[in-house]
Chain A
Amino acid sequence: MAAMTGSAFAEAGADLKLVGVQKRFPGFTAIENLDLTIPAGSFFALLGPSGCGKTTTLRLVAGLEEVSAGRILIGGKDVTATKAYQRPVNTVFQSYALFPHLSILENVAFGLRRRKMTDALTRAHEALNLVELDHLSARKPAQLSGGQQQRVALARAVVNRPALLLLDEPLGALDLKLRRQMQLELKSIQGEVGLTFLHVTHDQEEAMTMADTVAVMNKGRIEQMGAPAILYELPRTAFVANFLGQSNLFSGLVAGETSNSIAVDIAGSRIVVPKSRAQRHGGEVTIGVRPEKLILTRTAPNANSALNSLGPGRITDVSFSGVSTQFSVEIPSVGAVVVFAQNLQASPMASVGDAVWVSWNVEHGFGLEDDERSAARFSADESTAMIAAHRKDALLAELEDS
């Protein structure tokens, strides 16, 4: 490992810049005017549902697809017109794409040999050591398990010390335990070799645990971008609020305003949201709160300016999951509200049919920027419909392509 970091082509990772990138397939626009900057040395995750354009973005950066419009810059150099094999970029493919007719060692040495490195085999052994597979270097890919193949695919990409490493859902095929292990491994490799990582995934947990910066992508554009904690705490759109974890969303008119907060009328209740956490301060707005921030009580909470409350409602479903219990509460004229309660007592605090109130700290609410139509209460369903539509589009495009 030390040898790798000290090697001749061990430059730091480069930054990636997409300027107005657009990609059209026959009858289908995969990416609509995408601007994106990924700083050098960062671990960047592109998160979104299938068909949102994230894999297309990655293929454009790799040079496996050509942009319809826009420019791609790597380390400040315009690579838009260059071919895949001319770009300082390597990809870990979703299917690993190991060459079945070559040994593990030759697989890893492939990129180095193409670049006429004299010590290709030595470097390949070093890279295999990094992923702890050097003892299997004489085998063929088919003789390795899925997790081992994944590590070989990683070694094959990392050994070239690319300015930018692209990861196309490489952990998708692994089981949960192996996946956690690989996530840790990826993180530590990134730390050791200091590359820029662009990780494409639909797994929000994976994106949040691994990346410094997460960009949530939907319908060919980036909905929101930021540190995982910020995205989770302060989602700007209904899509982000529902794709990244779960959210309770309510719509209502702004009924009052103070210097640092707005009050929204939700089915007759006054719900207060800090202005700093709300994207819009007037008219009809959608506000939300995370299920684990909700407190369930069997009596109406005392009027308190630091607390929002809704109720009474009835519990329609209780599901116990060990650490916490998930309650579904049906509140008249508000709808279903999901509450995660930590299991602090031996028995569940409420059961189906009980009348309860939900309340939360004013500081925990957030206001979305979507207009009322796209941010309707059941936006989660709407977005799955959109996902299905996009899948269909992608499939059609694929059919047309083949």
Chain B
Amino acid sequence: MSTQEAAALATAGNAVETPAGSGRGRKRDSNFGGWILPVYTAVALLFLLIPIAYTFVFSFNRSLKSNISWRGFTFDNWTGVCKAQGVCEAVGNSLLVGVIATFLATVLGTMIALALVRYRFRFRSAISLLLFLPMATPEVVLGAGLAAEFLTAGVQKGLVTIILAHTMFCISFVVVTVKARVASLDPALEEAGRDLYGSPGQVFWRITFPLLVPGIVSAALLSFSLSFDDFIITNFNSGAETTFPKFVYIAAARGIPAEANVVASAVFVLALVVVIVSQVSAAARRRRLAAT
């Protein structure tokens, strides 16, 4: 146990070196606030990062049945990630569900957002309000309700029901995100498109859609992470199928394999890379624009 903690602390210590270091620089003015804030920040970050660091470090553990005590460093878990029973099937299911549910929710949600902002029809405000319900309802209630619904309708539980359930709760988030973007769109831009000989289809694909893309992309990313992450609703509606969160939950009873740590770490690193790349490329674009 003590070795684990030491290892975890070592990694975590590295991660928080920057804020702590800058804190030391400001310590010179020796007042209370001068050091308390950096120390507090360091402790808070440490607290937040320890579980991630633990997961990451233990993905390299030479584990046997369970992955609780440190038995030495190895790359085997990373190179043979699919050897553990069910890990890769679960991840594959999660990716499949995430991609399909995200696609469906993004397309449908964008269409709903456009309709809600652009057109006036009966029950428009009622629909706007109802769309918030899936976000406000406790997931347990939503999951149980859906499960009952599928049972009544006689639908066999499986990947299809998971996709349906995920699409359902993702739509609300897509509508809310895209709606804001549609509302901020200057209607004169589409009018200019029509005025410049653009047919309705051309105006949509060449003007409206490109201008909505930032909103649609962030809605899609949000949907995917919500879907990939979801356990409660999935658990109610998956039947025999396993997604990654469900796999981890079930495995927790008899010891999570180190391969699960590998998958979690990989997802974390991937997300980090995406964020860094988008930040760097945005900064580069700004610099390039400023230069011209």
Contacts and interface: CB of A to CB of B under 8 A. Distances in A.
B152 interface: no
Contact of A84 (B194, B206, B289, B292): B194
B292 A110 contact: no
A85 B191 contact: no
A85 B195 contact: yes
* Residue of B191, B202, B203, B289 with most partner-chain A CB within 10 A: B191
B153 interface: no
A64 B196 CA distance: 12
Interface-central residue, B192, B196, B197, B202, by most chain A CB under 10 Å: B196
B133 interface: no
Contact of A90 (B196, B199, B207): B196
B275 interface: no
A235 B287 CA distance: 58
A139 B194 CA distance: 23
A156 B192 CA distance: 10
B292 A90 contact: no
A62 to B, nearest CB: 6
B191 A93 contact: yes
Contacts of A95: 186, 188
Contacts of B196: 85, 90, 110-111, 114, 156, 160
Nearest to A110: B196
Given A114-B202, A138-B292, A99 B197 contact: no
Interface string A78-117: 0000011100011101110111110000000011001100
A140 interface: yes
B134 interface: no
Given A97-B186, A111-B197, A115-B197, A143 B289 contact: yes
A85 B192 contact: no
Contacts of B199: 85, 114
Contacts of A91: 191-192, 195
Nearest to B197: A114
A64 B197 contact: no
Contact of B188 (A85, A97, A101, A138): A97
A98 B203 CA distance: 13
Given A110-B198, A114-B198, A115-B197, A100 B211 contact: yes
B23 interface: no
B193 interface: yes
Nearest to B209: A101
Nearest to B207: A99
Given A99-B207, A111-B197, A140-B289, A84 B191 contact: yes
Contacts of A90: 195-196
Contacts of B292: 138-139, 143
Interface in A138-184: 138-140, 143, 156, 160
A162 to B, nearest CB: 9
Contacts of B207: 99
Contacts of B195: 62-64, 84-85, 89-91
Given A99-B207, A114-B202, A85 B189 contact: no
Contacts of A99: 189, 192-193, 207
B33 interface: no
Contacts of B51: none
A286 to B, nearest CB: 41
Nearest to A83: B194
B210 interface: yes
A64 B289 contact: no
A34 B194 CA distance: 25
B171 to A, nearest CB: 25
Contacts of A94: 188
Nearest to A116: B197
Interface in A60-81: 62-64
Nearest to A84: B194
A91 B193 CA distance: 10
Contacts of A64: 191, 194-195
A85 B186 contact: no
A111 B196 CA distance: 5
A266 B211 CA distance: 64
| A-B interface, 6 closest residue pairs, ranked by CB to CB distance from nearest | A111-B196, A97-B192, A114-B197, A97-B188, A84-B194, A101-B210
17 contacts: A64-B194, A83-B194, A84-B195, A85-B196, A85-B203, A91-B195, A93-B188, A95-B186, A97-B188, A99-B189, A110-B198, A111-B196, A111-B197, A115-B197, A139-B292, A143-B289, A156-B196
Given A85-B197, A91-B191, 9 more contacts: A62-B195, A64-B191, A64-B195, A85-B198, A90-B196, A95-B188, A98-B192, A99-B207, A156-B196
Interface of A: 62-64, 83-85, 89-91, 93-95, 97-101, 110-111, 114-115, 138-140, 143, 156, 160
Interface of B: 186, 188-189, 191-199, 202-203, 206-207, 210-211, 289, 292
